[in-house]
Structure 1
């Protein structure tokens, strides 16, 4: 169980300039937003934009550079003072108005055509500000207006977690297995933010949650529960579950821009989130790995979520129709489906 943080603590934490330094140094994050905004110049030029949680103002400047007629940069923390300086430094103080306020307390003189926000937290939802974006959408966005990003997806996959399992049998000639057991026990109750190497992912990813920001409600993001049967794509030690997310931006003239925090893509400041198993399980290629994953808001703080991971017996749960695992029932089903498909082909 994570320790709760109230709203004032949340906004005060964003007054720490080191947090903004970390985000501004995140090239995949900045690049995705900039590409998405400049790919949509025709939709932004001459329009009104609302930047929810503007921080130091970089997204507001991108929108002004793309030709927005007016940008309302709403930032609840005192970093809004820096945003004003950054916006003036870039010559857009006549276009961008910085408003030091929670979006929920903000009054605007008009509806807006576009909302931009970098609202994502760890594994998308944890300590994020999606609630505020939904509020802004419902109160300020014109019908048919655009949201950057417009959709987001959480993924999960079984993985190795070498930092929790390797090395401990011989630490400079000293066995530390008892320490590693306690370390894993603690980590299994509190997800960790780490960088997961692509080679440590043991199976194809599964979708945990897909969010359409144009329509999603608060109730729909209060929690979710999924059951997955993953199939190992390689032999290895199943030591945990890895979570990551992607965000997709509106697109009219080009391929949609996607910001990805996958282990396969360049590292972002979000990295990945791992849930560590208390004990590892050796799996072979094509072994089924069944698990149940739930995300639920904490009662203490709606900006925080609890994750629960349950390990399931692959023999006792339903498998996908085209499951590629090595269990006899799935081999027989695949054979029957393949036979049916062959018989259905034109003679």
Structure 2
């Protein structure tokens, strides 16, 4: 399961997200101590390294072998060197060493653009169903996907034949936001199904008079523990510090909407997981002024 979407450098250079992960593992070392952990994707290798440092008795990594080599090198020949073990191959083919059948914890930087695009969502569920012990944990395991109306044009990065929705990934600041946010989807990897395709109707109120030229998708991410307590980790919204993950913009282009202050917009958003590309998704957006 070599990860072709190589964001390791961007992840590791993101001080904010790295510090958030580092603080979580330090504050929850009792969760990882003497546990068997699997890092699905091993995108930057950071979660593997932090799990080792938090006291895991074994950390397996599947996915990015280049990042796995970085973790191996970082551990050197110290007392924790044998704790970390990369496993090559697809999840469906891999067998755990030493007769092991289950792991206690699955960690992963699984999130993609707009949460699902180029994500490890399906791989996480496959690993969960194959290896996670009863009562085990997934980190991070919860996410919310939001939509905002924006008053700036996105670059056209897709073929015109794919209209009316054009996609791009950018960072949008708070000044470009023209509507309230609306929650589209909540995901919990502990209970999610393989086909999380969905269609949802939503409403957004205009914050000022102007032209809505597109919509912005972003997410927040967190961890719910066994007691049902939520710990928020980070978000990719316009009112939060920048992270390595940008927002995804859906451009209305020629169908931009003129809105008055406090005017209500209604829309329908669909997301379908790709059937041909394992990490591809299809977005559909309809938006109009409510009369």
Same fold (TM over 0.5): yes
- Give 2:274's aligned residue: 298
Q: TM-score, normalised by structure 1?
A: 0.75
1:11 matched to 2:24? no
C-alpha RMSD over aligned residues: 2.6
1:215 matched to 2:191? yes
- Give 1:137's aligned residue: 128
Q: TM-score, normalised by structure 2?
A: 0.88
Q: String of CA shifts for 1:285-325, please: whole Å, max 9, x gaps.
A: 1111111111112232131111111123513xxxxxxxxxx
What is the CA–CA distance in structure 2 between the aligned matches of 1:152 and 1:83, rounded to whole Å?
27
The residue correspondences of 1:315-334 to structure 2 (distance < 5 A) are 315=291
2:203 maps to which of 221, 229, 247: 229
Structure 1 residues 253 and 228, CA gap change in structure 2 (3 angstroms): closer
What is the CA–CA distance in structure 2 between the aligned matches of 1:153 and 1:254, rounded to whole Å?
16
Q: String of CA shifts for 1:219-269, please: whole Å, max 9, x gaps.
A: 2x1x11111121112222211111001111245799713221111111112
Structure 1 residues 162 and 89, CA gap change in structure 2 (3 angstroms): farther
User: Secondary structure of the residue that 1:61 maps to in structure 2?
Assistant: helix
What is the CA–CA distance in structure 2 between the aligned matches of 1:216 and 1:208, rounded to whole Å?
15
Q: Is the Cα–Cα contact under 8 Å of residues 5 and 118 in structure 2 kept in the other structure? A: no
Q: Is the Cα–Cα contact under 8 Å of residues 188 and 275 in structure 1 kept in the other structure? A: no
**Higher-Rg member (1/2):** 1
What is the CA–CA distance in structure 1 between the aligned matches of 2:269 and 2:261, rounded to whole Å?
23
User: Secondary structure of the residue that 1:249 maps to in structure 2?
Assistant: strand
- Give 2:22's aligned residue: 34
What is the CA–CA distance in structure 1 between the aligned matches of 2:287 and 2:130, rounded to whole Å?
42
Q: String of CA shifts for 1:21-79, please: whole Å, max 9, x gaps.
A: 11211223222222222221111111111111113421111011111111112225554
- Give 1:244's aligned residue: 218
Q: CA deviation at 1:82?
A: 3.4
- Give 2:288's aligned residue: 312
Structure 1 residues 201 and 187, CA gap change in structure 2 (3 angstroms): farther
Q: CA deviation at 1:86?
A: 3.0
Q: How many residues align?
A: 285
User: Secondary structure of the residue that 2:138 maps to in structure 1?
Assistant: strand
What is the CA–CA distance in structure 2 between the aligned matches of 1:149 and 1:136, rounded to whole Å?
14
Q: Is the Cα–Cα contact under 8 Å of residues 115 and 147 in structure 1 kept in the other structure? A: yes
What is the CA–CA distance in structure 2 between the aligned matches of 1:137 and 1:62, rounded to whole Å?
20
What is the CA–CA distance in structure 2 between the aligned matches of 1:101 and 1:58, rounded to whole Å?
20
Whose strand proportion is higher, 1 or 2? Answer: 2
Q: CA deviation at 1:119?
A: 0.8
Whose helix proportion is higher, 1 or 2? Answer: 1
Q: Is the Cα–Cα contact under 8 Å of residues 204 and 230 in structure 1 kept in the other structure? A: yes
1:68 matched to 2:59? no
Q: Is the Cα–Cα contact under 8 Å of residues 83 and 98 in structure 1 kept in the other structure? A: no
Q: Is the Cα–Cα contact under 8 Å of residues 45 and 69 in structure 1 kept in the other structure? A: yes
Q: CA deviation at 1:141?
A: 0.9
Structure 1 residues 83 and 139, CA gap change in structure 2 (3 angstroms): same
